[in-house]
């Protein structure tokens, strides 16, 4: 069976609720490998809600569908406050990148309560700004940034990651709508440790199986490189 599009590989999948310090319940899912050790946990922060981002945005959904089986990664995904998906609606009202810090805090509390494998923040677009602006305070291995726009992230917030030992891996599409590789090199200059990966032909939304596979490969290269190369087929 070729691994593509809507294929969902075996994993233990659990619908979860996570609770914020300001009294909201957020809906989500935890997908973990069926057996053996889990190498790391991806805490997924989805794209901008007002632009249609939610926990089922396709790269995040496909990470949850494939990476527990292919790379021994746990995948925690959830709807930010006020966001709905087939899993349900998280309570509260959509913020503008500030109130979502409490959603991230609730997700990290969940990781700690469950004693999940060492976490990485996996942000896409808007989610990268939540990771960069508020993630440094948590015991994470690092942050993986897909299509970071850096609209809400200042140079000071970027440079604060320097010297912390937490990795920052930024996957930059060649034809991004907001931040292309040349500009990204300039913006990330304040964080010389950042690993910038320019993807030829890539676009902000990473549409198509070829771009999906490349993005998932870069995620795994950061969180569990021993699992590479990722298989493209799975026994029927």
Reading phi first (left if > 0) and then psi (alpha if -120 to 50, else beta), residue 36 is in left
What is the pTM (predicted TM-score) of this model?
A: 0.98
Tracing tokens 């440790």 back to the chain, one arrives at 193
The dihedral built from the CA positions of residue 111, 135, 151 and 124, taken in this order, carries a sign that is: negative
Whether residue 138 has pLDDT greater than 90: yes
Q: What is the pLDDT of residues 216-233, one digit of tens each?
A: 999 999 999 999 999 999
CA 19 to chain CA mean position, Å: 19
Whether residue 5 has pLDDT greater than 90: no
Q: What is the pLDDT of residues 185-199, one digit of tens each?
A: 999 999 999 999 999
pLDDT value of position 236? 81
Q: What is the pLDDT of residues 71-128, one digit of tens each?
A: 999 999 999 999 999 999 999 999 989 999 999 999 999 999 999 999 999 999 999 9
Q: What is the pLDDT of residues 146-187, one digit of tens each?
A: 999 999 999 999 999 999 999 999 999 999 999 999 999 999
What are 209's two structure tokens? 């199986």
Q: What is the pLDDT of residues 20-52, one digit of tens each?
A: 999 999 999 999 999 989 999 999 999 999 999
pLDDT value of position 36? 87
CB 146 within 8 A of CB 171: yes
**Least confident residue range of 3-7, 59-63, 124-128, 211-215:** 3-7
Q: What is the 3-state secondary structure (H, E, C) of the chain?
A: CECCCCCCCCCEEEEEEEECCCCCEEEEEEEECCCCCCCEEEEEECCCHHHCCCCCCHHHHHHHHHHHHHHCEEEEEECCCCCEECCEECCCCCCCCCCHHHHHHHHHHHHHHCCCCCEEEEEECHHHHHHHHHHHHCCCCEEEEECCCCCCCCHHHHHCCCCCCCEEEEEEECCCCCCCHHHHHHHHHHCCCCEEEEECCCCCCCCCHHHHHHHHHHHHHHHCHHHCCCCCECCC
C-alpha 133/C-alpha 103 separation (Å) is 13
Distances in Å between the alpha carbon of 66 and those of 15, 86, 116, 199, 233?
17, 19, 18, 21, 11
């Amino acid at each position: 069976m070729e691994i593509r599009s809507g294929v969902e590989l075996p994993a233990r999948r659990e619908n979860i609720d996570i609770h914020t310090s300001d009294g909201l319940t957020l809906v989500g899912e935890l997908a973990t490998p069926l057996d053996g050790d889990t190498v790391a946990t991806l805490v997924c922060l989805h794209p901008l809600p007002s632009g249609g981002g939610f926990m089922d945005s396709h790269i995040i959904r496909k990470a949850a569908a494939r990476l527990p089986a292919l790379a021994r990664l746990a995948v925690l995904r959830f709807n930010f406050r006020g966001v709905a998906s087939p899993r349900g609606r998280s309570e509260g009202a959509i913020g503008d990148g500030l109130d979502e810090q409490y959603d991230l805090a609730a997700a990290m509390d969940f990781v700690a309560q469950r004693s999940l494998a060492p976490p990485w923040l996996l942000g896409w677009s808007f989610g990268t700004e939540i990771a960069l602006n508020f993630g440094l305070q948590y015991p994470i291995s690092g942050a993986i940034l897909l299509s970071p726009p850096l609209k809400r992230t200042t140079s000071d917030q970027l440079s604060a990651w320097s010297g912390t030992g937490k990795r920052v891996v930024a996957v930059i599409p060649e034809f991004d709508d907001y931040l292309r590789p040349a500009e990204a090199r300039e913006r990330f200059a304040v964080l010389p440790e950042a690993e910038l990966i320019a993807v030829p032909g890539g676009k902000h939304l990473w549409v198509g199986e070829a771009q999906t596979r490349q993005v998932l490969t870069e995620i795994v290269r950061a969180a569990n490189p021993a699992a590479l190369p990722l298989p493209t087929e799975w026994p029927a």
